[in-house]
Amino acid sequence: MATPLLTPTDEKPQQPISEPGATENSLGIWVLRLVSALIIPLVLFLFFVTFEFLQDPGINKALQVAVAVIVGVGGVWVLYWGMDRTVSVMSDRSAAAVRPFAFAGPAMMLLAFYLVYPAVTTFVTSFQDSDGEAFVGLANYQRVFTESQYLISIRNSVLWALVVPVICLVVGLAFATLADRLGRRSESLAKSLIFLPMAISFVGASVVWTFIYSFRSAGFGDQIGLLNGIWVWLGNDPVEWLANTPWNTVFLMVILIWLETGFAMVILSSAIKSVPDDLLEAARIDGATEWNVFRKIVVPSIASTIVVVWTTVLITTWKVFDIVFVMTGGRDGTAVVAQQMVTEFFTFRNFGMGAALAVVLFIAVIPILVINVKRFTEQEALR
């Protein structure tokens, strides 16, 4: 009797045959990934230990610089070059799995060491006493939200966060719009002058504005402060501007606005230039006024950029301490959370309270980061 032929539908699908060493190879790849991610941080740690002998004040400074450049820069370059050569001799499958960890892994490890570890340590310290030893529970947080000096710093930080980003946005958007209507050469000059304060550090800007707000009591010579010079010339008595509560906080805000307005202007100007000219011309032909064109076309078109600028300036405002620290040291009701945190840590050596203020500041910034991530996700989804 003839054997019946099997049709293609009668054939049973063949089960994939697993290779004997598939599990071992997968485990080996993960080991290679981990080793490649850890090797550079470990070697950098060895570099750090090697540099310890250079801390001797008797060692020549030129030798210190030479060793730092040769061993630091050259050593890291040799490490990455050696890892690249090592990955290149692997099989294609292994190399594709290991290469990202070899190059991005060290950066992630270092980022975790320098950011995640300090954040966790600060959070733990916030529940300890001033020496960072005994556990005190929520006592530090209770003081933050009950004692007047800390409540004043929180109030001022919230006030800074409400006022500074909005004014920077409004003024920066106005400058960007007006500069866009100038000639090319005039526009470059105007933007350069407005952006120039960004080249100054916060401490440097504070020193500059110290001479503007400077005050000398009677009998200590003429007024050298620009603001008091104008005020006296108008026939008034000199004023100690930075002791004049609550306006002294506003005077300090002006410094940050002066610094950040140029940043807002440059970013918003680029966004305005990306608005299609055809859309603007169509609106004008339909009879729209320049104000309506700006309000109903330009602003909605650059809304995402406005949010980015606002959140960036807001984060900067939350963590500002240089201006307050240099100008007033937090006196006369001008303290902010970041400045109070630095004062507690490094002046009063109250580690528990300083850590609690740092945690409060971190929690205040989290919603801003969430907004940024959400906006970024929405933009990526539209692409």
- As a three-state string, the secondary structure of 104-137 is CHHHHHHHHHHHHHHHHHHHHHCCECCCCCCECC
- Quick check: 286 pLDDT over 90? no
Q: Which residue has the tokens 């600028």?
A: 309
**Distance between CA 338 and CA 260 in Å, rounded?**
18
| Band of residue 45 on the pLDDT scale cut at 50, 70, 90 | low
- Most confident segment among 93-97, 298-302, 369-373: 298-302
What pLDDT, on a 0 to 100 scale, did the predictor assign at position 304?
83
Lowest average pLDDT, out of 4-18, 95-109, 172-186, goes to 4-18
What fold, for 141-382?
A: MetI-like fold (1.10.3720)
What pLDDT, on a 0 to 100 scale, did the predictor assign at position 16?
46
Q: Which residue has the tokens 């529940």?
A: 127
Residue 197: its H or E element: none
- Quick check: 283 pLDDT over 90? no
Comparing C-alpha atoms, which of 214, 275, 220 is closest to residue 239? 214
CA angle 311, 210, 326 (to 5 degrees): 60
Question: Whole-model pTM above 0.85?
Answer: no
- Quick check: 275 pLDDT over 90? no
What pLDDT, on a 0 to 100 scale, did the predictor assign at position 28?
64
What pLDDT, on a 0 to 100 scale, did the predictor assign at position 12?
46
Segment 56-73, tens digit of pLDDT: 677 777 777 777 777 767
What pLDDT, on a 0 to 100 scale, did the predictor assign at position 56?
65
What pLDDT, on a 0 to 100 scale, did the predictor assign at position 24?
47
CB-based burial, 8-17: b 16+ in 10 Å, e otherwise: eeeeeeeeee
- What is the Cα 58 distance to its own chain's centre? 38
- Quick check: 127 pLDDT over 90? yes
> Within 10 A of 286 (CB to CB), how many other CB atoms are there?
9
What pLDDT, on a 0 to 100 scale, did the predictor assign at position 151?
93
Segment 198-252, tens digit of pLDDT: 888 899 999 999 989 988 876 677 778 888 888 888 888 888 888 888 899 999 9
Query: Quick one: tokens of 356?
Result: 């609690």
More confident residue, 33 or 2: 33
Percent of the chain with pLDDT strictly greater than 70: 83
CB 251, CB 213: distance < 8 Å? yes
What pLDDT, on a 0 to 100 scale, did the predictor assign at position 40?
60
Percent of the chain with pLDDT strictly greater than 90: 22
Comparing C-alpha atoms, which of 164, 364, 143 is closest to residue 255? 164
Could you tell me where in the chain the CATH 1.10.3720.10 domains are found? Answer: 141-382
